[in-house]
Amino acid sequence: MNKIIVVLVLLMTLSSCKTANYPPLSVVDYVDIERYQGKWHEIARLPNSFQDDCYCSTAEYKIIDSVTISVKNECREDSINGELDYVNGKAFVVDGSNNAKLKVQFFWPFKGDYWIIDLDQDEYQYVTVGSPSRKYMWILARDPMLKSEQLNKLIDNAKNKGFAVENLIFTDESCNGNK
């Protein structure tokens, strides 16, 4: 079985577990799914076992219907020049969330929280996604690099929401144009 699928199943299981007492995680007011769809490059992430050997990660979202989105996650295995690996899944809009909360599923029946906690509301060029447990977090951008001022702002916002940003893993800059 594909290694990335196995670890994503683990993510889905663990992300729904409550591991600490945090205040409720706030999300953005509204997400326009039409504008959100497309390819995103990982800029930074909190460490997680299912991405231990992943480099140059991307996520691509496409609308299936009003509440379902296809998800394709890709990464290079073991190095920035490694074999391209991918996993397909679906994301489901959480009712009443104005599209800011999704449940992502890569392997039935497991679903994990994908909450949009920060978003470039004007141009949809960067986003921070996290889980209410604060265990998982990603900073994504349309381009493989993000200006340091904007990245620092996203990191500060995530820190203020209770994420352990001191543990962030930043994508290797040599991933630019590697796909």
What burial letters (b/e) apply to 27-38, b meaning 16+ CB within 10 Å? bbeebebeebee
The predicted model scores a pTM of 0.86
pLDDT of residue 179: 44
Tell me which residue range forms the domain holding 33: 3-173
Q: Does a structural domain hold residue 179? A: no
Model confidence over 40-67: pLDDT tens digits? 999 999 998 888 889 999 999 999 998 8
- Report if residue 80 sits inside a domain: yes
> Which three-class secondary structure state does DSSP give residue 147?
coil
Does residue 113 lie within any of the structural domains?
yes
Residues 6+ apart with CB under 8 A from 151: 43, 44, 139
Question: Does residue 74 form part of some domain?
Answer: yes
Instruction: Determine the 3-state secondary structure of 166 from DSSP.
Output: helix
The verdict on residue 11 lying in a domain is yes
**pLDDT at position 23, please?**
85
DSSP-derived 3-state class of residue 19: coil
The Cα 83–Cα 111 span in angstroms is: 27
CB 111 within 8 A of CB 131: no
Counts of helices then strands in the chain (DSSP H, E): 3, 9
Q: Is residue 53 part of a domain?
A: yes
Helix, strand, or coil here: 162?
coil
Each residue's pLDDT tens digit, 60-113:
999 999 889 999 999 999 999 999 999 999 999 999 999 999 999 998 888 999
CATH number of the structural domain spanning residue 55: 2.40.128.20
Residue 178 inside a domain? The answer is: no
Number of domains in the chain: 1
